[in-house]
Amino acid sequence: MKMLKLAVAALALAFAAPAAAQQAAKIEKPKLTLGVGGKPLLYYLPLTIAERKGFFKEEGLDVAINDFGGGAKSLQALIGGSIDVVTGAYEHTIRMQAKGQDIVSVIELGRFPGIVLVARKDRPIKSVKDLKGAKIGVTAPGSSTNFFVNFLMAKDGLKPDDASYVGVGGGASAVAQMKRGEIDAMSNLDPVITKLEDDGDVIVLADSRTEAGNDKIFGGANPAAVLYMKRDFMEQNPVTTQKLVNAFYKALQWLKTATPEDVAAVVPEEYLLGDKALYLNAVKNSLPIYSRTGLIPEKGMQNALNMLVEFDPELKAAKIDLAKTFDGTFVAKAAAGK
């Protein structure tokens, strides 16, 4: 009888354990809204891959994507509460900490910014120093493309207000405004930059698409696109956050072995800007920028802070705890298959 009771108890535990695990893994927020600033840009390719390859659905998530004109606008939407999470520039986690907002990144998508500063060939701009008085196109004022040019100008002794900035987005509109001569220079990403390069419209002043370029500009890697959110969202929705990170981690793993042709076959047709050969070239230029591990190295965090401090007086006076800008525990679990 005693043996029978023990067997029944063991059987009950065997059934209870999976049930408990299933309950523990319940997704708190299976339907959520994600903000991004310029989804067709190759800067955000891991997001499109996660969406189009069905990685969000595999994780049990229904993700509605709101595409804003630039990263600053998606950040505003997060702070305002109209979206849940953002794929955006890592620098925003630092800047918001200085403003008393606890924003945390949970996976690195880009290890290099991939941002390129170009000038029209018919303008007297041959170096960053020549940007004084120029009208510069950025995806949106206050976005990472704006920070990039501000940093480069500061390194050459210029102030942010030595030039004016125009939001041009990250697609065909940006290309058109440069071609029409409405702006003198532009800080933008692929495929926009490769289109202008291939058409012979611009000269390159600074290029962060390669490891060598980043070493020259920042002294090493500088984290770019990440998935970030309010800390209380992460803490209140740990399973949801883990599922999101799992989906993005799958996208990064897919990109490790993907060819430009593989990418072109997955993204929406309109991403090709009507020129598949151009898009393939842009992808080839950009594949090195994506994170290999999903983890932000400490040196990368420091490089990002050093960049912002160069031109932002508010950050020079702020005490920033970089450890609070990134939580790598979710990536570690994704890598372990949990």
- Going by pLDDT thresholds of 50, 70 and 90, the confidence category of residue 21 is very low
**At residue 90, does pLDDT exceed 90?**
yes
**At residue 334, does pLDDT exceed 90?**
yes
Mean pLDDT of 121-144: 95
Mean pLDDT of 91-108: 95
Q: Where are the domains of the chain?
A: 31-113+222-335, 116-218
**At residue 144, does pLDDT exceed 70?**
yes
**Max CA-CA distance within the chain?**
95
**Paired tokens of 95:** 């800047």
**At residue 23, does pLDDT exceed 90?**
no
pTM of the model: 0.85
Residue pLDDT, tens place only, 165-223: 999 988 889 999 999 999 999 999 999 999 999 999 999 999 999 889 999 999 988 99
Buried/exposed code over 48-82 (b: 16+ C-beta within 10 A; e: otherwise): bbbbeeebbeebebebebbbbbbbbbbbebbbeee
Q: State whether CATH 3.40.50.300 applies to domain 116-218.
A: no
**Paired tokens of 46:** 């891991």
Specify the fold of 31-113+222-335: D-Maltodextrin-Binding Protein; domain 2 (3.40.190)
Residue pLDDT, tens place only, 38-74: 899 899 999 999 999 999 999 999 999 999 877 888 9
